[in-house]
Amino acid sequence: MVGKKAKTLKVEPRIIKKYPNRRLYDTKYSHYITLHDVHDLVRNDVSFHVIDVKTGADLTRSTLLHIIYDQEEHNLPLITSELLKSIIGFYDDPMHSLFSRYLEHSITVFKEHLVDLKSPVNSLLKSEAQVNQLHDLAEDSLESWKVNNKDD
């Protein structure tokens, strides 16, 4: 099952400058922001890049990893130790890029179906039915991923 993609205007990503004192500066609104504010940008699906002021290096990934670290430390963990070990194991694996694309595709498909999973009707369903629905979603995701990566 392949999700429909809505046509959207290309929006330039917001630039967040990171200074040597570890402060983050939002160039769109000309003020300093916190890591929590960057987390809100992610939640609101705002496109952005974090750039080191001194070197010009893209720090977006490391900033996102920092947000994940903070969430894992201070909230209910989302990523189990076993999942982390599996991910770490793929860094030296020849299937590294295939695994990365699979994870990204799986999360994209999951997000596309999230509205269905959160619907009021689904909240009335028994947990077993919800587990079955998640299983079916995973099966659809895997099948879609196989079809999209046949030529690789």
Domain-wise residue ranges, the chain: 14-74, 81-148
Number of H helices, E strands in the chain: 6, 4
Strands 24-26 and 48-52: unpaired
Task: Report the alpha-carbon distance of residue 69 to residue 137 in Å, rounded.
Answer: 28
pLDDT bracket for residue 151 (50, 70, 90): low
Output the pLDDT for position 141. 78
Given a cut of 90, whether residue 123 has pLDDT beyond it is: no
Given a cut of 60, whether residue 107 has pLDDT beyond it is: yes
Given a cut of 60, whether residue 124 has pLDDT beyond it is: no
Output the pLDDT for position 126. 52
Counting beta carbons within 10 angstroms of the beta carbon of residue 18, is it exposed (0 to 12), middle (13 to 18) or buried (19 or more)? buried
Output the pLDDT for position 127. 60
Give, in order, the Cα–Cα distances in Å from 146 to each of 82, 113, 120: 25, 18, 32
Given a cut of 50, whether residue 136 has pLDDT beyond it is: yes
Nearest CA-CA partner of 29 in 53, 10, 46: 46
Strands 48-52 and 14-18: parallel
